[in-house]
Amino acid sequence: MNATTEIIARAVIRDGARILVARERGKSWVFLPGGHVEPGEPVESALIRELAEELGTASRIVGFAGVVEHGYSDRGTAHHEVNLIFNAELDGTPVSQEDHLEFDWLPIDQIDRTDLRPAAVKTVVARGTRAFWHGWKADE
């Protein structure tokens, strides 16, 4: 697969036995909030910026959750991403600030029945506070 590598900062945001997930409007699958790290931008700063842009509230990183490397093809275009996942907390109530995204609280006991992408993120969420690395094509 010949693709540019994208660095993505994502957050596991918990509310009791639920995690916050994002969905592109019209899609059936979900993903963790966050987004692309800009060239030269520290990963933690990128995550705080992305969460503010997407959710309209300040946040703070409270720990490192793991790394998930992932590759996929979408409409004939190859993608390769490295997801750096952090545990984070919000200072306010999340409200989507982006017309193309909606957010919802997913009960953790439903995670196995949910199309959370990339799928290896489910392991990061399940491990809680123990850091995790999932290499590309390890178990797809």
Task: Please state the rounded mean pLDDT for residues 67-90.
Answer: 90
pTM score, whole prediction: 0.88
Measure CA 105 to chain center: 13
What does the block give as tokens for 63? Answer: 């720990």
Domains present along the chain, CATH in parentheses: 5-130 (3.90.79.10)
pLDDT digits (tens, 9 = 90+) for 22-40: 999 999 999 999 999 999 9
